[in-house]
Structures are given as C-alpha cells and as structure tokens.
Structure 1
Amino acid sequence: MSTLPDRPVLLSCGDPSGIGPEIAAKAHEALGARLPFVWIGDPAHLPRGTKMREISHPSEALSHAGRALPVLVHDFPEAARPGEPHPANARAVIDVIARGVDLVMRGEGAALCTAPINKKVLKDGAGFAFPGHTEYLAHLAGGADVVMMLACDTLRVVPATIHIALSDVPRAFTPALLRDTVRITADGLRRDFGIENPRIAVAGLNPHAGEGGAMGREEIDWMEDTISGLRAEGYAVTGPLPADTMFHASARARYDAAICAYHDQALIPIKTLAFDQGVNVTLGLPFVRTSPDHGTAFDIAGRGIANPASLIAALEMAARMGAARTA
C-alpha cells in the first residue's frame, strides 16, 4: 500500500461462530506490519495457535503489528462453536460494533472494518431491530443519511434500493432518493477516494432504459429531469443509461461510480468481476466503514478453508480511505 493512516484500522469480530475470527487471523498473517489493524473480540474465539497480543488501547497496535494480532478484549458469555451461533452471544456481537464506532468517532482508529454478522441470530438472541449493519451504523452515528457502495479495483456500484422485493422497487425508487444517492455518492468519492470531480453514471430502471417509453416510462417521466437538475447543480452525472451496456471495460472507464436502481442490477456485475475481492463501503457516515462483501459462512466455519481475500481488500480500502480523510 502506498499510503497508510497514522492510526490503526479497527476490525469488529462479527459473529464468532462464523468465519470472522478465522479470516481475521489469516488477514493479519498476510498483511503483517504493512497494515496495522486491531481486532475487537474475545481472544478465546480466535483459531488455536493464532499469534495475538492483548492491548488496552488501539495506539499500541502500531508496535505489535507484524509480530502478533493486536486484540482489544471484549468478553463473550459463551464459547464459539463453528457453524453453531449461540443466541447468548448476540448482545456481545452488537456491543462490539458499538464499541468500534465509539472508538473511531473519538479518533482512536482511522477507520472501522466490520466482520460479517447474521441478522436473524442477532434478532432472535438480542432483539436487534435493524435490517443490517448499515442501518445500525447510521443509527449510532446519529441518524446519518447513508448509501451502500460495493467497490473493487475495476468498479464501484451503488444500489439506490437494496433489500426489497423487485415488485417494490418502482415505488421506492423516487426522484428524491436518486438525488440523495447521487449527492452522498459524489461527496463520498471526493472525501474518501480523493476524486475531485467524480463522474457518476445512472442506470435506467427498465430494460434498455425504457427505450423511449416502449419498455417503461420512469426514465421519461422523471429520471431524465432529475438527472438534468443534478447536472445543473454541478454534478458530473450521466443517464439514465441501459444497464446491459454499462459494465464492459470501455464503459467502466467513463465513470467513477455507477448508481443502479435495485440490488441485483448493481451486485451482479461487481460479483462477476471480483467475487472474492469486493468490498462493502458505507458512504455518508462521519467515519470510514468497510466490510468484506460476504456473510458469516456458517457452513465452512472452523474448517480452515475460508478465503480472506475480501477482508484483506476491505482492510486495505479502509486504510486508504482513512488516510484520504486526513490528507
């Protein structure tokens, strides 16, 4: 990495019965001293034989990185059985996230990277009232307006609507939502990625971007005017564009991020291009947050075969973004 922040990245443990502890240990082995990060969790949940060092403050990580995984201890009530999440641990999983947010908002970490959680386990075990990590982080940040970006070296995509049924998308995807998504995305690209005048491409909702109204009218009825209004505000935004021609190499070279109308329109291209190295980024928070773009993988937890590539990419991107904010 060419640029590192002056403080370590903080990594929340996620569900300890998933692959989070395993890939954290593997990421430390791979990154060594070139990217200091602190793992927040119960040391007993790390794989047997992990070289780790308990610390009392994130700043201590800089002197231990490369020799041992720095750990901020957070006790859990139960042992972690791979693939068998324990409801009694749900509250501690949530509290680790909150602790990480508190530390990074106090400036004691350059960024927060979050290991995967299982929302059903947290809901059943601790009454978790949020659809996922992103909404909980926004809540902890005081109700910030946020968007989810999936990023890799060759593509950044932002789904304007996320985990809703496809039949609900036309009602949820509104002019106000598109305007907010473009503004938050552009601000995030400037602040966290160092792109002075970000170019944003907007995908149409309908096939062929409606093809002049023959395949849907949202593009004609409001998307074109909304995008024109954003251009008048000074945003370098194009669209609505046919989604089926937006993601080949020469098309990607013409924008810095693509805003899509719905979940699969955004996630299929990035998972095709970088299935093991995509990073989930939350834009709009008062701190940097990234996450690997995969789940807890209970089915392979504890078998030693989990791929740490996405977590490594998430830690590296968190470090770059943290450095960009302090540049």
Structure 2
Amino acid sequence: MHDPLSGTTATGGAGPSVTLVHACLRDGAGGSPTAVLEETGLGEAERRRIPTVLGTSHAVFVSVEADAPAHPGAGPVVSLRFFTAAGELPACGHGTIAAMAFLAERSGQVEYHAALRSGGRVVVGRAVRTGGQFNSSFDWGPVGIEEPEPDAHRPVLDALGVPPEMPAPGARVAELGRRRLLVPVATQHALQALTPDFDRLAEACDRLGLLGCYAYSPPSATGRLAARMFAPSIGVPEDIANANSSACLAALLADDGGTGVTVDMGDALGTPATVTASARLTEAGPVALVGGMSAIERVVSLP
C-alpha cells in the first residue's frame, strides 16, 4: 500500500488500511492524530480498539453512499461514524475535518465538496488542497445554548479545579451532537494551570448528561483565545483539538456580537492545534461554521 506523502509502502498485516491524519494543525505542525478508514465489517469492540492501537483519540469510518443522489451543490453523500476507546459518538468536529482531508486526498481534486451524514444531520463540507495540506470546513447548523440550573454545574467545576471562590460566571450548556459545559476562565494562565480530577469529572458529567467540559480564556480583540476540552467519560481525558466545542463557543459569542474565533488548543499536551469557528444568528438560533488545516501523515495496515 502506497503512502501518498512519504512515497513509502505501509507494512503490517492484511487487515484494514488506516490513514493517519493530523487535524487542526497550527502553523503547519501539531494537530490531533486521527485514524480514518473506509467503512468495514468490524464489530464495535474492534472499532473501539483502533484508537488505542494507533494512539489516536478517535477513529472515523467513512462510507460514500453510492445509491444516494448527489446533494445539490455539494457532491456525493458520505456517511461518517466516530469511535473512541469508550464507544461511538454521534459527531466529532476534528474527526470530520480529518475525514474531509482523507476524501479530498483520495479524489485528487484541488477543491472537494461532499454532503456529510452523521448523528442524524447532513452538513456540507469543503476541503481545499494547499500544497501538501488541506483546509477543511463545514457548516454544522444550529447550536443549542442554555444556562445551566443554578449550582447544578458546581460538581463539574470542583472536579475541573475551579476554586469555589471563582464562580465561573457565564458558564453555559451547549448542544451540538452532545451536550457539553462551556466554562470561561479568567486568564490563559489560569486555564493552563487547571489540573482536573478525571474520575470525579467523569462522574459529574455523567450525572448531568454532559459529553465533557470545555474551558476557555477570554478572546483577544481579534477573537483569538486558548481552550482545553476534558471528556474522560468518552475515554478522552483531554482532547488535543475539539472543533465542535469551539463551534459552540462561536455560537455563544455571536449573541454578544462576535464574528468568529481562532482557538488554540493542545499546548498542555505538548501538541499545538488550532480550530477556526464562526457563527451567524438565524431564526433557528446561532448556526456555526468550523474548520481547520490537516495533513496526512501516513497509511498503515492493521493486523
């Protein structure tokens, strides 16, 4: 099997071919390693094992729906399924960005469009080849934002390491595929100093039906900020890049007149990543657009 970037041939057993994509690069480096492969007959346990075997947070299974009519103006319809070591997710932002890079590389086109089906939604994705990298974006549609019940999220904040005297005003529950808590932190230094108790955080999030907790620093005048996403309940104690939560934040800030954010993540893990997100207000609520740069690292064969 040929590696499209290095010119080498992947080695290993005769199992499925997996493309390793670094999604949401920052200045051409870092990014979240993501396993992308064609839909196979693997069972759930085998799908969950792939992220562990390859050292990625997620695995994305891609299937072009040959019998589906092309989506108007968006090319083929492609189904996506996302798995972590803990199970299947209805949606994954950086996994979708990685899948778009995979599809664009395979197509050979400079600009690739597809209608992406996952978690009951169909969204239009776009990937543009720039040298050896891909600039991918997609419109997630409406994002639900609500205020949490008074003090209901205090156990999450305690497990996150936010002191009781710091009430984190402005915390919101956002829903995009799954519900998550968005928590503003006073400074970027305080954000990087967070040391969550992951067992307690998973318990608190499970009790409230939350995917996890997305903590972020105040945006600069240009909309740049730092964020960290903690989701131990789904087997990802801290995510290198979380595009869906960044889209939720852009939707939240749109109510305050914000036009978009550039979110730096992964620094606490030594792997810098950047997500871009914007939102527009509609009658159905804020609608988010999210994107990032990706590069294909290599292709491997699973035994």
Larger radius of gyration: 1
Coarse TM-score class (shorter-chain normalised):
under 0.3
TM-score by length of 1: 0.25
**Quick check: which one's helix share is greater?**
1
